[in-house]
Structure 1
Amino acid sequence: MPKTIFVDTSRCTACRGCQIACKEWHELPANKTTQYKWGSHQNPQDLNPNNYKLVRFSEHLDNGVIRWNFFPDQCRHCELAPCKEMGDLYIEGAIVRDEKTGAVLYTDKTKNFSKEQFEEIRESCPYNIPRRNEKTGVLTKCTMCNDRIHNGMPPACVKVCPTGTMNFGERSDMLKLAEARLAVLKKQYPDARLADPDEVNVIYLLIDKPENYHEFAVAQADLGPMSKKQFLATLARPFKAMKA
């Protein structure tokens, strides 16, 4: 069974320890500070090749009161990953899944995707996660600290979290924890929900409507009558048929 991260946003204080721990573990360079130029404490402004994780700050008015929602954004490591399905159309094995952990990983082969192919891969992700390092051409995102897991350690973001926002373990255990926390929080927050728990291995508990977090807090796709799981399962079929 794959490993899963459960993110309880009700406990997030936006300390950004997870964001920094991720950068330190992966030895990612710093970004130029921009917060004084665009009016938000969120920094940097978006995910990028040097930030696999980003604590997003979202403000909205609730009956005249300003509310802040914090969202530690990262790859969801989808049960059926559209980025991998799309990537396999062009370079099989450039995007892989670790059989032991379930982590979806981008290899150095991703540098061989053209810019047009990268844009198709990025657009296939319902959470707008993949980014490209313009210097190396390699696609980047959260690895779930796959190397740490194989050495008996939790992901760096989970290890450093001081509030219990980040949790890690077997998928079945994390689903039980998520459902238990949801039942408790529903009493105080009627809009509380789990974000796409059946389709992803990074499960978020939201205490507000998804639109009060950010655009891609839940899967973004025009599904019509299909469920999200059906959509993800059928996404790449036409492309695979063309390849065959």
Structure 2
Amino acid sequence: MSGKAFFIDTTVCTACRGCQIACKQWNQLPATKTYNWGSMQNPKDLSFDTYKLVRFQEHMGSNNKPVWYFFPDQCRHCVEPPCKEASEDDAPGGIIIDSQTGAVLYTDKLKKMKAADVIESCPFNIPKAQKGTGYMSKCNMCVDRVHNGLLPACVKTCPTG
């Protein structure tokens, strides 16, 4: 199977969070109210309105100084997505794979399935449900951009490439 993939070099990520902002802007997602919960990572986790999140981890280095690790987190767009497999019986066509990009995409048909079953099927805990509606969301690899020869918004905005 051919398609696209994200390669994230965590050794050059500066945690600027430009990718988070670009994702929200392109997908017209509302801002998330954040608060100080003891980490530079904000918001605390992915949500129905946050498809991409730069995760922060702080560890004490060998010289007794803090060392920070950053990881931009989002859907991995698995080649054989467990979420798609989990949805086939209850919501056929609820999760599709875009033939041009390999992006794993959610459709309205996914509402027929319990959100918890989709969430539990993902080994990375990525999909999120909107309370009270049955709708699910996650990164869509900016397929509209990619189909038009553009890079995904998060990739385009990354200052380290």
Q: Name the TM-score class by shorter chain.
A: over 0.9
Aligned equivalents of 2:133, 2:29: Cα separation in 1: 14
Higher relative contact order (CA 8 A, sep 6+): 1
The size of the alignment, in residue pairs, is 159
Structure 2 gap ranges (5+): none
* Partner AA of 2:55 in structure 1: R
TM-score normalised to structure 2 length: 0.95
**Local SS of the residue matching 1:91:** coil
Ranges of 4+ aligned residues in structure 1 off by more than 3 Å: none
Q: For 1:201-244, what per-residue CA distance to the aligned partner results, in whole angstroms no more than 9, with x for missing partners?
A: xxxxxxxxxxxxxxxxxxxxxxxxxxxxxxxxxxxxxxxxxxxx
State the superposition RMSD in angstroms. Answer: 1.0
Report the alpha carbon displacement of residue 112 of structure 1 after superposing the two structures with TM: 2.4
TM-score normalised to structure 1 length: 0.63
Aligned equivalents of 1:138, 1:52: Cα separation in 2: 14
Report the alpha carbon displacement of residue 10 of structure 1 after superposing the two structures with TM: 0.6
Q: For 1:79-137, what per-residue CA distance to the aligned partner results, in whole angstroms no more than 9, with x for missing partners?
A: 100000001121100010001110000112222223xxx21221111111010011432
Q: Is the 8 A contact 1:109 1:138 kept in 2?
A: no
Q: 1:232 — aligned with what? A: none
Structure 1 gap ranges (5+): 165-244
Q: Is 1:79–2:52 an aligned residue pair?
A: no
Q: 2:104 — aligned with what? A: 104
Q: 1:69 — aligned with what? A: 69
Q: How does 1:153-168 map to 2 (within 5 A)?
A: 153-164=150-161
Instruction: Report the structure, 1 or 2, having the larger helix content.
Output: 1
Aligned equivalents of 2:19, 2:156: Cα separation in 1: 8
% identical equivalent positions = 58
Report the alpha carbon displacement of residue 144 of structure 1 after superposing the two structures with TM: 0.5
* Partner AA of 2:103 in structure 1: A
